[in-house]
Structure 1
Amino acid sequence: MSKLNISKYLANLFLWALCITWIIPVIFGISTSFRTQSEIVQSGFRLFPAEWRLENYVTILGNTSTAPIMRWLFNSVFIASLHTFLVIVVISLTGYGYARMKFKGRDTLFFTLLGISFFPGVVNIIPSYKIIDIFGWVNTSWAMIIPGLAGMGNIFLVRQFLKGIPHELDESARVDGAGDFRIYASIILPLIKPVLIVCGLFSFVGSWNDFLWPVIVYTDVDKMPITAGLLLLQDIYGNYRMIGQLMGSAIIAIIPTLLLFAFAQKYFIQSINLNSGIKG
């Protein structure tokens, strides 16, 4: 057996071991949400329930007063979708400006902001909350949608991707009388679609999974996203008699992101190569 085959075999073995390590807890969590309470408290380990039951989900979906989980799910879908759309608009325009437009101090400004972005986000929580409070956005969707639109990590990816697209395309368009916005909309935007897909996926998942910030800015139960709602569920279902309901709520919360990656996997794999731009 050649060294190449041995390396390939070991790599596959490692990936399978890693996959099993990650997927078993997920399978156990899903199966727990279908167990009866008596089976949950029994000693011993059983990966699948003896009998699949839907009582936990009936209880979860039937609670529309203290724990309206479907309302929380809708709130999260709305917030994450609008946030992702605005992120794509902002970072595409900003990345175009930093990569294509020439102005004094452009690179200095970019790298200064990029350096500031390396500070932990937790240091901005208090000033960010003050700003949100001044605008009157506490307990509104805007408190989750607006912050983070101009993430420097995403702008950096777009800027680097644009550097792989030859400037001759811009110059040809200018000769034909096109301005900056026409060049951006008609030429640049279609070419940077791969990197925008990557940034959009990460932005959606990041907004969906954000936990600390929504817990701070939301106190109205009906307006909470799903992550803040899950914390509230720990008080409602977080005792030994309601483990199945709590686990079922967590499973419902991850369904949209699983569906997103299931349908967008092809585009994600194609666009993860940031060198796929046109080369001069």
Structure 2
Amino acid sequence: MTTVHEAPPAAARPRPPAAPGGQDRRGRRLIRMTLAYVSLVAVAVLVLVPFAWMLSSSLKQDNEVFTIPIEWIPREFRWSNFVEIWDRIPMLTYLGNSAFLSVTITLLQVLTGSFAAYGFSKVRFPGRDALFLAYIGTIAVPWQAYMVPQYIMMQRAELTNTFWSIILLQAFGAFGVFLMRQYYMSIPDDLCEAARIDGLSEYGIYWRIMLPLSKPALASLALLTFVNTWNDYMGPFIYLTSNRLWTVQLGLRSFDGVYDAEYAMIMTGAVLSVLPILVVFLFGQRFFIRGIATSGLKG
């Protein structure tokens, strides 16, 4: 009679020794992750240092702003700077002008950029790709090259010293068309073909299908355009001469005198001008990151 030997349970079996190569790989991966996080923290600190200095300077007196070494914590917090600035200059008017131009130009660029991108990505016509490359090539032309011709055009149209000069010149942007086209290229063409078979016009496809599917890209373009318009200095400086039309970037020049400047007040105004951008970014951060990440999938 033969005896059947049962195999020992899995828990009782001796485990083979771990391969030394696996531990080395885990160690290298841990080192790479640690270095990556340390690098990201270092870059974040470098980016935030100017903002920390700006915020600290807005709570100081003028003679304390450029002290050496830098005093990151003011000796005496002058919260009165944030109250006094509203009486020194028409800050509310400047902020309102900046908000009006930023919102108007953002809406127009989102509309024109997405509409032109739909034509360049989903509508077939002769010379489409060549026209797109020529249009995108204008991004490489420096603004200083056509600054004077643009001003002459606006002057002859009698639009200088009006918001129309800024709005008309910035209502169209090649970068917005490029960004939206790259996103539209990731949307299958079969979707548009099915809509055409069902009798939907090109305008209907753009309005009912493309726009709802491109919310992340639209949010990215809107945020980039808003920030760029809000921070624009040279455009309003060239075309807007009346004080009642100045933006906040021009208004802060009031504290810059011939022989001296009120740097504490300038920093206070800079802090106030950053707050709207911070609020807009916090609300659109999720869509912005998704739009930037997916706008270059195809093209």
Contact 1:94 1:155 in 2 (8 A): yes
Correspondence 1:187 to 2:212: no
After superposition, residues 1-280 of structure 1 pair within 5 angstroms as 2-37=27-62, 39-40=64-65, 44-63=69-88, 67-235=89-257, 239=260, 242-274=262-294
| Residues 112-121 or 215-224, more deviating | 112-121
Contact 1:28 1:48 in 2 (8 A): no
Query: RMSD of the TM alignment (CA)?
Result: 2.2
Hey, what's the Cα distance between the residues in 2 that align with 1:263 and 1:22? Answer: 21
**What is the one-letter code of the residue matched to 2:74?**
P
- How far has the Cα of 1:28 moved from its partner? 2.2
Misfit runs of 4+, over 6 Å: none
- How far has the Cα of 1:38 moved from its partner? 5.9
- How far has the Cα of 1:45 moved from its partner? 3.0
Larger radius of gyration: 2
Stretches of structure 2 that go unaligned for 5 or more consecutive residues are 1-25
Hey, what's the Cα distance between the residues in 2 that align with 1:173 and 1:40? Answer: 62
The two structures have a TM-score, normalised by structure 2, of 0.84
Contact 2:237 2:250 in 1 (8 A): yes
What SS does structure 2 have at the residue aligned with 1:164?
A: coil
- How far has the Cα of 1:44 moved from its partner? 4.2
| Residues 31-40 or 97-106, more deviating | 31-40
Contact 1:113 1:152 in 2 (8 A): yes
Hey, what's the Cα distance between the residues in 1 that align with 2:175 and 2:48? Answer: 29
The two structures have a TM-score, normalised by structure 1, of 0.89
| Cα pair distance change 1:23/1:116, threshold 3 Å | closer
Contact 1:80 1:145 in 2 (8 A): no
**What is the one-letter code of the residue matched to 1:256?**
P
- How far has the Cα of 1:276 moved from its partner? 9.0
Hey, what's the Cα distance between the residues in 2 that align with 1:47 and 1:93? Answer: 48
Hey, what's the Cα distance between the residues in 2 that align with 1:117 and 1:275? Answer: 18
- How far has the Cα of 1:116 moved from its partner? 2.8
| Cα pair distance change 1:219/1:164, threshold 3 Å | same
Identity %: 30
Stretches of structure 1 that go unaligned for 5 or more consecutive residues are none
- How far has the Cα of 1:98 moved from its partner? 1.0
In the alignment of these two chains, the number of paired residues is 273
